[in-house]
Structures are given as structure tokens and as C-alpha cells.
Amino acid sequence: MQLKIDLPFILRTFRHQIALTWSIVLVENILIAFVPLLIGMTIDGLLGGRMTELYWMVAVLAGLGIVAVGRRIYDTRAYGTIRLHLGSELQRRSSALEVSKRNARIDMSRELVDFLERDAPELITAVIQIGVSFAILTYFDVRLGISAAIVVVGMVLVYACFHQRFYRFNARLNEQREQQVDLLAAGQRLGVFRHLRALRRHEISISDTEAVVYGGIFLLQIAFIAFNLYQGSGLPGVTAGQIFSIASYSWEYVEAALLLPIALQSWSRLSEITLRINSEHNGYSNA
């Protein structure tokens, strides 16, 4: 029995390459997470006539640059190899299908690798930034930490209300994409126009839903940052550097937290794609 092609399959098959690049991502983002704190300390140090904090900040930023460049050079090669082998395996398994569906499914399978290359590192970044920001904000004042927890829960709840809608719209879009090569081969101008118009309609549906979701999330972000700035400015003995750190970590926190619903949306899309590319038939039902 053949194993299903999905994210766990890719992670198992290419575990060494992915483990290496994710380890570098971990180091890179730990360094990134502490940059605002170092900047705040540097501000207070320079105001106090000290240079030590500035030297530490420059050293960390230089190390961050080296790690980031090295990871991107490696990622291009590692994930390119994964796409090559995955596309070849999918072609072998789906050779009995129509060319149009095989073409579309090979393109869709690349989205699984795209998720591991782009979205998964961003999710790792988000988790690290959320953890570090939450700890530092809580250290400054427990009420800042409580507000951080509330805003994440609010973001996830907003997305949860639209999860099924995202899945349904993506299913319709992918169903249409599977017909593209056959329609182009038929050469009927009206048929191609209707196909492109249907693609446009499904893409608009997805985009409009995204706009509503992120509009709601943006309102939560505004309230969170306004509260933290108001609360932080009233802390006893607060310094300019500490205010900068509170503002920076509040903004980084909401930026990182925003990646959570984005990752959930990607998961909705990939779930539909996984079901589709593992189907052995020309027809597909998303019911």
C-alpha cells in the first residue's frame, strides 16, 4: 500500500534536510527575538555614557546577518531537491489520470513544499517571538502579559469562524484549476474565457474572506498596542529604553500572532490539496 503524499510524508522522507534548515531558522529567530531588548538596553547605555551595550548589539546583528544569508543559500538547494523528487513521485502515481489533472496536481504538490520552505519557518519565527515577547512583557508588568494572551485567543477565534468557508472556496478553486490544460488544448476561446472568469470569481471569494478576517484581527491589534503603551507609560520608574522595548515587543507580538491565523488558513488549503492529489480518480468530491 502506498503512503499518502502529505506533509508528514515529506517530513519523514526528507527529515535530514528539513531538520538542518529548521535548526538554522531556530538560531536565526532566537537572535531576532532579542534585538528590541538589546536596542532598549543600548539606548539606556548610551544615555548613561556606556558603549558596552552598543558593542553587544552590533555583534548580535552581525551574527544574525551571517546566519540569515547562509540559511537562504541552503534552502534554495534543499527545497528544490524536495520539489524534484515529490513531482516525480506524483507523476508516477497519477500516470493514469488526464494530463490536465496531472499538471494541476503536480503544481499543487509544490505548495506543500512551499509551506515547509516559507510558511513553516515563519510559524517557527512566530512561536519564538510570541514566547519571548510574552515573557518580556509579563516581566515588565503582568497586565501586559494578560493582554497578550487575550489578543491571541481573539485572533484564533476570529479565524475559526471562517475556517470552513476557506476550505470550501479553495476546493472550488482547485477543481477549476484541474480543468485548465484540457480547456486550453480544446482551443475554444469562449471556454477558456469562462474558465478564467471562474478562477477570478473563486479568487475574489477567498480574498474577500481574508479581508474580513484580517479586518477583525487588526481591530484587536490596535486595542492591544494602545493598552500596552498606556499601561507601560504608567509603570513606576520606567525608562526611555524600557518604553521602547515595551512598544517594540507589543508590535512584534501582534505581528507574530498574526501569522497564526495565516498558518491556519494555509493548513485549510493544504488539507484540501492533500485529499485531492491522493485521489486516484479523475473526479473529486469535496463534500
Q: Give the span between the Cα atoms of 17 and 172, in whole angstroms.
A: 34
Q: pLDDT of 204-252, one tens digit each?
A: 888 888 888 878 888 888 888 888 888 887 788 777 777 877 888 888 7
Q: Among residues 161, 251, 252, 175, which one has the least CA distance to residue 214?
A: 161
> If you write DSSP's letter for every residue of 193-233 in order, what string do you get?
HHHHHHHHHHHHHHHHHHHHHHHHHHHHHHHHHHHHHHHHH
> In the prediction, which pLDDT does 2 show?
66
Contact between 141 and 243 (Cβ < 8 Å): no
Q: What is the DSSP letter of 2?
A: P
Contact between 108 and 275 (Cβ < 8 Å): no
CATH code for the structural domain at 7-277: 1.20.1560.10
Domain residue ranges in the chain: 7-277
Ramachandran angles phi, psi of 282, nearest 5° = -70, -35
Q: Give the span between the Cα atoms of 245 and 239, in whole angstroms.
A: 10
> In the prediction, which pLDDT does 193 show?
83
| pTM of this structure | 0.62
Using 70 as the pLDDT threshold, list the residues of the chain that sit under it: 1-2, 280-287
> If you write DSSP's letter for every residue of 134-155 in order, what string do you get?
HHHHHHH-HHHHHHHHHHHHHH
Q: Give the span between the Cα atoms of 246 and 233, in whole angstroms.
A: 9
> In the prediction, which pLDDT does 20 show?
92
Ramachandran angles phi, psi of 277, nearest 5° = -75, -15
* Helix (H) and strand (E) counts in the chain: 11, 0
> In the prediction, which pLDDT does 37 show?
79
486516484: which residue's cell? 280
Q: Give the span between the Cα atoms of 249 and 80, in whole angstroms.
A: 35
> In the prediction, which pLDDT does 1 show?
56
Q: pLDDT of 167-199, one tens digit each?
A: 788 888 888 877 777 777 777 777 778 888 888
Angle between helices 99-114 and 163-177 (to 10 degrees): 140
Q: Give the span between the Cα atoms of 257 and 155, in whole angstroms.
A: 8
Composition of the chain by helix, strand, coil, percent to 5: 85, 0, 15
